[in-house]
Amino acid sequence: MARRGGGGRGGSGGGGGNAGIFRPILQWLRRSTRGGSGGGGGTRPSGHHGRPNTPGPHTVPRYHRQKPMLDKYRHETDPNHPANPFPGRSVRRLSPQEREAHRVFVDPNGNLRRARDGSLYDTQSGTSAWGGQRAIFVMDGNGNMYASNHHAPGQFHHSSLAGGHPVAAAGELSVTNGRVNYATAASGHYQPGPEHMSNLAQEFSRNGIRPPIWDFQGPRPGGRPMFA
């Protein structure tokens, strides 16, 4: 009997020893399942490339009315081509990775931000060919917007931001500390019409903002609003 009891104690003792070995693992698994910080299994949503609250680019086609680049700019990247509208110069075309560095988005508070670092976008240092304190922009068929405060004839144009591809909208933006004051259809390379700028109006509205959108002339004498 003593032997059987000893065996019983030995069995339970062995079981207790195993439980002691596995107890920390079981506790870790429980914390992981609950998303506790101790287990490291819980994941907190983060933004694109680990930047909080920065969404990744849209990947689903949304706007099918698009405008191709005017054919006369087809050879603008070749400084030696006789049909280059900028003789002796080469217009830069951004790669997809370079374009991402120029992507902007509207945050939940209606502010325009840079996707690369989440900072508020501002065009006060803009150098648009048609007016100061404005940026050039394009929007692709998925609703992604790309903007640049730099605009240099024969070097950097709307076609640079779009990579020479068709756009759903294009023009200029006036933005003050994230607040979009207005947009225009001023793009010599694409010359979008109302049917294209309506895509921009829809994208703005989808994000809860409704800044006025002007024609090519913008808010200058002779200009008229397309969407207000």
pLDDT tens digits along 39-59: 333 322 334 544 557 899 999
Contacts of 72 (CB under 8 A, 6+ apart): 83, 85
Write down how long the chain is. 228
Q: Give the global pTM.
A: 0.77
Q: Mean pLDDT across the stretch 157-180?
A: 98
pLDDT at 10: 40
Is residue 3 left, alpha or beta, with left meaning phi > 0 and alpha meaning psi from -120 to 50? alpha
What is the average pLDDT score of the chain? 83
From CA 132, how far away is CA 140, in angstroms rounded?
A: 24
5 pLDDT higher than 90: no
Q: What does the DSSP 8-state code read for residue 144?
A: -
pLDDT tens digits along 181-212: 999 999 999 999 999 999 999 999 999 999 99
What's the distance, Cα to Cα, between the start and end of the chain in Å?
Answer: 95
